[in-house]
Structure 1
Amino acid sequence: MSPLSPESGPTMFPSVIALLGFGLWLSQWIRAQEGTLPSPTLQADPGPLIPLKKSVTLRCQGFPGADRYRLRKEGSAQYRDVSTTGREAEFPIPSVVPNTTGSYYCLYKSQSNWSQPSEPLRLVMTDWYDKPSLSALPGPEVFLGNNVILRCRSQQWFEYYVLHKEGEAEYMQNEGKWCHADFHLSQVTAADEGSYRCYSFHMDTLSEWSAPSDPLELRIRAATDDPQLHVSSKPLSSANSTADAVAQNYTVGNLIRLGLAGLVLIILGILLVEAWYSQSGALRNAQKSLPKQPSQATERGKV
């Protein structure tokens, strides 16, 4: 007999209701296990980069109605619960050591439902290796729109280097080449100005970094800060115009003086030529006025 025939309806209807109820309950249970509430946020105070054996507090912030918070570390089955009626729970870590580093996330529970997990927070321990050095190529002063290279150099070889700007949560990571790594900042803007530090670490200790380098102050200058560009781009003031006028008058005066000197030389030349011609004429006239001397042949004839 078909289960959909009229005769089977009265006996099968309670079973269908029971199956539908069980399916709805199972769906709700699965959703409760997966997390139906909004995700909380997880932050580290004073920050996610903590020196060796220093303390840090992880704060999980949920929503009204939360009565329990849970902190988990990725890769570990252990967790920590805090019962509270507030919107935030604190998870202090009194001393950061290698086994406390790694990625953490938190959840909160309201009534019988757990929330979605928060975004993972990576807790890093610093001061595990000696500090590297940080330098800027070609220099720490960069003109707006130009490129600069921040080079992090260590005394030994590391697989990875990290560049961090003070006041920002994000950081740049780069693979090491020999004992250094270069971080290229292209077409810098005013937002790139600030204090930078770098770290180094090995591949098998991703959350155990070196001590931070000494800070490097990167300064971004506008193109008009260049003295040569500044003079050419700035409009001439009245003082500059006066100076230019004086210089121009001085040049004209020099040209007049040179012209007069040339004219004097020409006049002197003419006078010298006239004197030379006058002297030459006087000598010729003097020679013509002298008596002629008898020749030797005439003198012999007379004897």
Structure 2
Amino acid sequence: MMPQLLTLLCTGLCAAQGSRETKDPLPKPSLRAWPSSVVPHGSNITLQCRAPTKDVDFALRKGDIFLDSSPSLASTEGLAEFHLTDLRNSQAGVYTCELYRLKLPYMRSLPSNLVLLLVTGYWPKPSLQAQQRGVVTAGDNVTLQCQRPDDVFRPIMFALLKAGATGPIQLRTPVGNETDFSLQTVTAEDSGNYSCVYFQIQAPFWTSLPSEPLEIRVRETIERNSPEGAETGLGAVGIALVAVSALLILLGAFLVYRCSRRRHGAALHKMAKRSCSSKEPEKVETRDQPEKESRDTSAAMVSCPPASDEASQVSRAEEPYGVTYAELDIRALNEAPSSQVEQPLETCVYLTLKT
């Protein structure tokens, strides 16, 4: 929008110099305002004219009026700077620069790009509001609405400004007393402070004060496969992985503990079985002893869990010849005859009887 507007404003100037388009051997220079082309009343700016060639002279123009030329010494590096100090409203307008050589044959370049210099402070400031409040996400569209006071009836145009930019980033014609600026598919680079002004679209280019700054903050979305995404995503995914790993470690430790307990119990059980099987039973003589002594002796006998048939056969094979074993029910000996019931053989007592 800015190049189109400036082209319309300077149609007469460009047409007057259009006869040299194809015959000029000098390249077209570029012009920029630093720090910005929209500045307050009384400011100082520098117009920098840069050429892609060296050993040329520069000329600065406002519209079709010649203002200044640079000395040859300053232009040996292909750059000339024109300083404008203590700006007044009368200095607002469209600026261009040109290249030329005074040596024969005389040569002159096409004019540079147009720079619209606006000096703010002539009209009251507008207001700037954003439809999306707070932090916006990268990729979204942001709409900014600039509204001027109702007592301005001249033909005007709105300009959107951003802190740090060297000129207006957008130009819009009003709809009534307001207009909307749209920031499409914003990124982190679009974060910053924005303001707007309205100005007269013809000389003397009177311009309002800038609106109050409006901060726009853009939050970048992190790609999952990017290094930043991997590092940032570690907060949620990493915690889950650590929790699962800790549970697996605890479960593994519990299983190892259970296995070790089982092995330890099996070893103790095996040792007990070996101890019971290897221990010789007490020899008790029952012929000459009364029944009471036999009962007392039975209480002192060693009790072992019932052995398997194979173990019994092996054990019996090792006993000396002539030894007979009898299985006694200890519960039957300790209880009265009336309370005796058939009980499973849980323990066994071996008596040695002499033959």
Deviates more, 1:202-211 or 1:107-116: 202-211
Matched-pair contact (CA < 8 Å) for 2:30–2:113: yes
Change beyond 3 A, Cα 1:32–1:65: farther
Shift of 1:139: 0.5
The corresponding residue for 2:45 is 56
Distance 1:34 1:208 in 2: 38
Matched-pair contact (CA < 8 Å) for 1:32–1:113: no
Distance 1:123 1:142 in 2: 32
Shift of 1:218: 0.7
Identity of aligned residues (%): 28
Distance 2:81 2:202 in 1: 30
Change beyond 3 A, Cα 1:61–1:238: closer
Provide, for residues 259-285 of structure 1, a one-character-per-residue CA deviation record: whole Å limited to 9, x for no partner: xxxxxxxxxxxxxxxxxxxxxxxxxxx
Shift of 1:164: 1.7
Change beyond 3 A, Cα 1:86–1:121: same
2:131 is the counterpart of 1:152:
no
Instruction: Give the structure with the larger helix fraction.
Output: 1
The corresponding residue for 2:97 is 106
2:185 is the counterpart of 1:187:
yes
Structure 1, unmatched stretches of 5+, are 1-29, 225-229, 243-303
2:219 is the counterpart of 1:216:
no
Calculate the aligned-residue CA RMSD, in Å.
3.5
Distance 2:45 2:107 in 1: 29
Matched-pair contact (CA < 8 Å) for 1:105–1:118: yes
Matched-pair contact (CA < 8 Å) for 2:92–2:204: no
The corresponding residue for 1:136 is 130
2:30 is the counterpart of 1:41:
yes
Provide, for residues 32-55 of structure 1, a one-character-per-residue CA deviation record: whole Å limited to 9, x for no partner: 995321122222233211212323
- Residue 100 of structure 1 aligns with an amino acid whose one-letter code is Q
The corresponding residue for 1:173 is 171
Structure 2, unmatched stretches of 5+, are 1-18, 223-231, 246-355
Equivalent pairs counted in the alignment come to 208
The corresponding residue for 1:282 is none
- Residue 83 of structure 1 aligns with an amino acid whose one-letter code is P
Change beyond 3 A, Cα 1:53–1:143: same
- Residue 237 of structure 1 aligns with an amino acid whose one-letter code is A
Provide, for residues 131-159 of structure 1, a one-character-per-residue CA deviation record: whole Å limited to 9, x for no partner: 22222113031123333221222333554
User: Which of 103, 112, 120 pairs up with 1:126?
Assistant: 120
Change beyond 3 A, Cα 1:160–1:120: closer
Larger Rg: 2
Matched-pair contact (CA < 8 Å) for 1:33–1:113: no
- What is the 5 A alignment of 1:3-18? none
Distance 2:201 2:115 in 1: 19
User: Which of 66, 85, 91 pairs up with 2:73?
Assistant: 85
TM-score by length of 2: 0.50
Matched-pair contact (CA < 8 Å) for 2:93–2:203: no
The SS at the match of 1:70 is strand
Distance 1:115 1:201 in 2: 31
- What is the 5 A alignment of 1:200-239? 200-204=198-202, 207-222=205-220, 234-235=236-237, 237=240
Matched-pair contact (CA < 8 Å) for 1:69–1:81: yes
Distance 2:201 2:97 in 1: 26
- Residue 126 of structure 1 aligns with an amino acid whose one-letter code is T
Instruction: Give the structure with the larger strand fraction.
Output: 1
- What is the 5 A alignment of 1:252-291? none
Distance 1:53 1:92 in 2: 13
Change beyond 3 A, Cα 1:83–1:138: closer
- Residue 215 of structure 2 aligns with an amino acid whose one-letter code is E
TM-score by length of 1: 0.57
Matched-pair contact (CA < 8 Å) for 1:144–1:188: yes
